[in-house]
Structure 1
Amino acid sequence: MRPTAAGATRALSLAAVLAAVGLLPWLSGRDPALTVLRARSAEQEPTREALDAVRRDLGLDAGPLSLLGRWAGGLARGDLGTSWVSGTDVLPSVVAGLQVSLTLMGAALGVALLLAVALVAPVLWRGRGTGGVLAAMLAAVPEFLLATVALLVCGVWLGWLPTSGWQGPAHLVLPAVALGVPAGGLLGRLVADALPGVLDERWVELWRGAGVSRARIAGAALRRVLPPLVPQFGMAAVGLTGGAVAVETVFAVPGIGRTALGAAKSQDLPLLQGAVLALLALGLVTGALAALLRRRLLGPALRDAGLALPPVRPVRAHPAVPVVLGAVLLAAIGWGLVRDPYAVDTSARLAAPSWTYPLGTDGLGRDVLARLGHGAAATVGTAAAVCLLSLLAGLALGFLPGVAAGAADIANALPPVIVGILVAAVAGPGTGGAALAVALISWPPLAAHAAALVQEVRASAFLTAQRAIGAGPLWIVTRHVLPSVAAPVARHALLRLPGIALALASLGFLGLGAQPPAPEWGLLLDESRAYVERAPWAALAPAAALALLAGLAVSVAAYARGRTAGRGGTARRAARAGRPARPGTPTPVKEAPVAAG
């Protein structure tokens, strides 16, 4: 029954996304006739007759069902329509952009695999790794931030590699590194965290005693580790499609992501429809290939066995690390909050850091420190609201795992940037649209965590006794199940707060979030790109703040995992005894799987 519900929900969610793409001209609520008329003939007067003729030509005078039917019919014939701006067929532009993006993603995947091998090799050789924190920090760095720093250091300061364009292999290096390093950090972190537990299993000791070579044991351990992690690898590959939008924008790469972003900003909706459809297809195909690879690795005997990894050895983080990072970040924010972020001093444009302007000024002479401090409130405050919405959705859907699973598959195939582009095309760019875009796809990890906890609590001996004495379902859910589930899922949501803030900053960096003159961190980084060669400090300030935020996220998560692992023995003993882990708690529950987050 549950697989059927999940399949139906998956199909309905996919149909809803496709319908939203097909109805973009109607959902946007804007009349594109004037834009199309000016693109076709700049000298023609925008009279009512001329605008009506354009609407009839584009089919915008029909209703939404007719518009969706026409688009779906053209899609079935391989016709994506005609660009409203250039007047050319959309399909060749989409294919050309897709070819460039696939080349870039292939090179980035190569970089990711090389980095993952470098992070995993010490674990295979010594049985333990020392780069867990490094891998976690690499995985937490946003692609747009790494791309900006790489452009500034390797392209502008050192002049080693070209900073824009797509003319030859040299132009591929910096974009591939910026896109591949976070993915490689994530892949290496997942495998390196899981390998020590596998290497402690009994069969490894027996193989070593029998004289089996270290290389063969390493290969068998990797084969044991990979199947449960393949879905996470698929999500990392899906993340490349979202990261490609920012990386292509930074380095002016004519890929499908930059095409989609440009179409959204120019309101060229047919081109936007084709580009988003291509990006969505990439995500779905990647997820399907990951599922197929997992089945092949498991083999017919284990496909339905629910193979799981041994408990992960958590990366330890000293409690002083998040305290120091948080103190530095809060000090900069607090210092900036007492200054005016909107005051313009044209005589101090692009001024270097000084006592008057500790972090320099931007292109309008505004204080970068002040804008950094005031931007934190907007960035972190919006992220907190998104976290709350995701928490409520995750708790509600945790009680409906069969329904939530199918929708989660579609949400996981949509990076925040793609959803942000769609929301911006409908409602226009802004803080609210960016928050909605991130909220729409940030709930699946929380829902999966809540569903696992609900299942565990409902199967506990404590609740069996409650049912035996006549407790009703509503009483059990409201007094026992929900309180037991809400606390750990809320802690999980809190750990995701920095990641959500970084996602919002990425949308602001692409012009899909907060708009000028708002002092939002991603927007500050985007504005500084125009004069990065003359005033690099204007870019380094928000980049350093975002890097500190990423480091804070990693250190807090690692510390939380260490604390959770330390409490694991007590909780397991309580679970075996069928009693609460401590007074006032109905049953022990597992904490968030932070390693996979």
Structure 2
Amino acid sequence: MRPQLSALVWRAVLAAALVCGIGLLPWLTRTDPALTVLKARSADRDPTPRVLADIRAQLGLEKRPFKLLGEWLGGLAHGDAGQSWLSGDDVTPAVLQALGASLLLMAAALVVAAVTAALICARTLRLGAHRRLDDTKAPGGGSAMLAALPEFLTASVLATVVGVQLGWLPALGWYGPQWTILPALALGLPAGAVLGRLLDDLLPGAFAEPWALAAAARGLPARTIARQAVRRCLPGLLPNTGLFVVGLTGGSVAVEQIYDIPGLGRTTLQAALAQDLPVLQAGTLALLLLAAAASGLAALTTRRLAGPALRDGSLSSPHRKQPPARGLQPFVYGGLLLGVIALGLPRDPLALDTTRRLQAPTWAHPFGTDALGRDLLARVAHGALDTLLLALGIGAAALVAGVLLGLAPRVSGPLADTVNAVPPVLGALLVTAVAGTGPWTPALAVGAVAWAPLATHTSALLRQERAALHITATRGLGAGRRYLLRHELLPAVLPPVTRHALLRLPGTALALASLAFLGLGAQPPSPEWGLLLAENQPYAERAPWAVLAPAAVLALLGALAVSAAGGVRWPRRRRDPRTTATRPDEATRARELVQIG
């Protein structure tokens, strides 16, 4: 009970610190909140000292920040989150309504994500259940390309093509179930691609375990074996699924903006930009409570699926197959990406030619031109240097931080849930308030949250590995914690977590792109990929090449990340039989189980 109580206290402390930090946001930004509120209420009104003084008196800004925060916290006990500084309406009904819209969109997106993940894993499930899965099985790059598509770009394309041109589904507004389909596809397809890749990475090890071999030897139906293999892998995947739940609710700001959905992410963003403090605090608190609920539900489901095995140390040790080398594919994808960069670097990304605005691809301009007549190949190539180097640096730092924090789950678990509950846009605003604007602000904002999924994945895999029989036997033979960590735990955990980090490399680039798309990242005339997509998105119907060029390079980056992840291997170490429990041959263990049965 003490670990659960300490985790609860730690989670409450983190939530309180975050809410207090948001409560101080207007003062941290070193701007006058009264001036911001005046601009939001009436942009044409002159900000005279008397007008600003009246607004301060009306909002109580003459009080100290901590006194205002204390009054707001005191009202929460009675269900009163205060009144909006802009409209004067009660905050609680508006936030609850926005939360309801976000939960409905999240549920629809999760259905799409589950179907997408199932399609990605279908081949592995079919081959593994029929005992035809071998080392030649290699994951395809299609899921990586799907995961690399920006959500706001997918939303724009679906709205333009399916909603406007074909007229199959409504593309704007929030009036019923039909209006949830397109935004759910935009959110669920990339999320399902990532979850599908993570599950597909775990399934071969599950099919190689003794229970699967024994079940196949006894003639159990392939469908039953496949179902149990999925259940065996879910405990290592559910914590990340909980993070996706919160991310789909609070991180779908761009999609909500495009489809004009009054969700919680959009409401929080608008409140942050306008410094509508009561709405911002209530929205953030709702996201934190949702994160706590999702994390608790994932933990309960994990214990339910794993049963007493995690407690008793009776899990069979999974035979983790090394992923197959992808042959020439990483070199092909990498060569194409380097070729694009090499062809575009000699060109001038800032040269204007208004006579060639939105020109289709030609030999002179292989990617076409943008709305100002600038060469898109040059802008994509020059933007790749900043985007790729920054994404690689953030990914490496996130991997190191995620593994280190994952080794201490009691500390990192509540911290990861709290960090993940903050939408990236709000995180960027908080970082901007503390560190100021600058070229490193987007990197700090993305890096502050990029470690959370990796730490959660590390903790989940370590929990399963510590419960394995060979770990118990090795510990019984006198192995210490340092030996177990170095020779048993890390070799089992680092390869899948590293592949996870590589799989998220395009997502890191997308996070930077999303901030630029919403105006919080790079600024014109920078050729950063997110800014390219934001600048050319209004011309997607007239000049689709202006959007497809940077999107195709992002998809190529995703394919390169997955193909490179397929070759991540942990060097084999020679085990000392005097200190390490040897693992029996899988076939021998399977025959023993069949005889026992």
User: Could you state the TM-score of these two structures normalised by the residue count of structure 2?
Assistant: 0.80
- 1:197 is aligned, of 186, 194, 205, to 205
Encode CA deviations 1:455-476: one digit per residue, 9 max, x unaligned: 999x999xx9999xxxxx9xx9
Partner residue in 1 for 2:11:
10
Q: Provide the rounded CA distance (Å) in 2 between the counterparts of 1:213 and 1:540.
A: 45
More divergent stretch after superposition (546-555 vs 218-227) = 218-227
Partner residue in 2 for 1:365:
373
Q: Secondary structure at the match of 2:32?
A: coil
Partner residue in 2 for 1:188:
196
More divergent stretch after superposition (280-289 vs 399-408) = 399-408
Instruction: Report the AA paired with residue 198 of structure 1.
Output: A
1:255/1:168 Cα in 2 relative to 1: closer, same or farther (>3 Å)? same
Q: Provide the rounded CA distance (Å) in 2 between the counterparts of 1:94 and 1:190.
A: 34
Q: CA deviation at 1:169?
A: 3.7
Matched-pair contact (CA < 8 Å) for 1:391–1:493: no
- 1:310 is aligned, of 303, 315, 318, to 318
Q: Provide the rounded CA distance (Å) in 1 between the counterparts of 2:496 and 2:238.
A: 24
1:44/1:265 Cα in 2 relative to 1: closer, same or farther (>3 Å)? closer
1:520/1:41 Cα in 2 relative to 1: closer, same or farther (>3 Å)? closer
Q: Provide the rounded CA distance (Å) in 1 between the counterparts of 2:287 and 2:301.
A: 21
Encode CA deviations 1:35-81: one digit per residue, 9 max, x unaligned: 32344456654221221121122222222321221222233332333
Q: Provide the rounded CA distance (Å) in 2 between the counterparts of 1:138 and 1:489.
A: 20
Q: Provide the rounded CA distance (Å) in 2 between the counterparts of 1:193 and 1:522.
A: 29
- 2:447 is aligned, of 434, 439, 459, to 439
1:83/1:353 Cα in 2 relative to 1: closer, same or farther (>3 Å)? farther
Q: Provide the rounded CA distance (Å) in 2 between the counterparts of 1:371 and 1:541.
A: 10
- Are positions 1:319 and 2:320 aligned together? no
1:296/1:497 Cα in 2 relative to 1: closer, same or farther (>3 Å)? closer
Q: Provide the rounded CA distance (Å) in 1 between the counterparts of 2:526 and 2:517.
A: 12
1:220/1:402 Cα in 2 relative to 1: closer, same or farther (>3 Å)? closer
Alignment of 1:144-543 (within 5 A): 144-155=152-163, 158-299=166-307, 301-305=308-312, 307=315, 310-387=318-395, 389-390=397-398, 393=401, 397=405, 402-414=410-422, 416-424=424-432, 431-444=439-452, 495=502, 497-543=505-551
Q: CA deviation at 1:255?
A: 1.8
Equivalent residue pairs, number: 557
Q: Provide the rounded CA distance (Å) in 2 between the counterparts of 1:242 and 1:153.
A: 26
Q: Secondary structure at the match of 2:512?
A: helix
Matched-pair contact (CA < 8 Å) for 1:446–1:492: no
Q: Secondary structure at the match of 2:318?
A: coil
Q: Give unmatched runs, 5+ long, in structure 1.
A: 468-472, 580-597
Q: CA deviation at 1:540?
A: 1.0
Matched-pair contact (CA < 8 Å) for 2:359–2:373: yes
Partner residue in 1 for 2:104:
103
Encode CA deviations 1:142-193: one digit per residue, 9 max, x unaligned: 4334334434543456554343322444432221112112232233334343
- Are positions 1:86 and 2:87 aligned together? yes
Instruction: Report the AA paired with residue 184 of structure 2.
Output: A
Q: Secondary structure at the match of 2:30?
A: coil
Q: Secondary structure at the match of 2:311?
A: coil
Matched-pair contact (CA < 8 Å) for 1:195–1:225: yes
1:391/1:193 Cα in 2 relative to 1: closer, same or farther (>3 Å)? closer
Q: Secondary structure at the match of 1:231?
A: helix
Q: CA deviation at 1:236?
A: 2.8
Q: Secondary structure at the match of 1:358?
A: coil
Matched-pair contact (CA < 8 Å) for 2:344–2:379: yes
Matched-pair contact (CA < 8 Å) for 2:152–2:258: yes
Partner residue in 2 for 1:582:
none
Partner residue in 2 for 1:591:
none
1:555/1:243 Cα in 2 relative to 1: closer, same or farther (>3 Å)? farther
Encode CA deviations 1:366-413: one digit per residue, 9 max, x unaligned: 322222122222222333443465466557757866544442343344
Partner residue in 2 for 1:585:
none
More divergent stretch after superposition (76-85 vs 542-551) = 76-85
Q: Provide the rounded CA distance (Å) in 2 between the counterparts of 1:131 and 1:159.
A: 39
Partner residue in 2 for 1:49:
50
Instruction: Report the AA paired with residue 434 of structure 1.
Output: P
Encode CA deviations 1:193-222: one digit per residue, 9 max, x unaligned: 333433343334444555544444444444
Instruction: Report the AA paired with residue 316 of structure 1.
Output: P
Q: Secondary structure at the match of 2:186?
A: helix
Matched-pair contact (CA < 8 Å) for 1:33–1:54: yes
Matched-pair contact (CA < 8 Å) for 2:33–2:275: yes
Partner residue in 2 for 1:589:
none
User: Could you state the TM-score of these two structures normalised by the residue count of structure 1?
Assistant: 0.80
Q: CA deviation at 1:241?
A: 2.5
Q: Provide the rounded CA distance (Å) in 2 between the counterparts of 1:199 and 1:391.
A: 28
Q: Provide the rounded CA distance (Å) in 1 between the counterparts of 2:217 and 2:491.
A: 45
Q: Provide the rounded CA distance (Å) in 2 between the counterparts of 1:465 and 1:194.
A: 27
Q: Provide the rounded CA distance (Å) in 2 between the counterparts of 1:466 and 1:255.
A: 51
What percentage of residue pairs aligned between the two structures are identical?
A: 51
Partner residue in 1 for 2:587:
none
Instruction: Report the AA paired with residue 79 of structure 2.
Output: G
1:269/1:312 Cα in 2 relative to 1: closer, same or farther (>3 Å)? farther
Q: CA deviation at 1:90?
A: 2.6
Q: CA deviation at 1:502?
A: 2.7
**Alignment RMSD, CA only?**
4.1
Q: CA deviation at 1:489?
A: 12
Q: CA deviation at 1:426?
A: 6.0
- Are positions 1:551 and 2:552 aligned together? no
Q: Secondary structure at the match of 1:20?
A: helix
Q: Provide the rounded CA distance (Å) in 2 between the counterparts of 1:201 and 1:449.
A: 21
Partner residue in 1 for 2:588:
none
1:248/1:395 Cα in 2 relative to 1: closer, same or farther (>3 Å)? closer
Matched-pair contact (CA < 8 Å) for 1:263–1:272: yes
Q: Secondary structure at the match of 1:363?
A: coil
Matched-pair contact (CA < 8 Å) for 1:435–1:504: yes
Q: Secondary structure at the match of 2:348?
A: coil
Q: Provide the rounded CA distance (Å) in 1 between the counterparts of 2:87 and 2:511.
A: 32
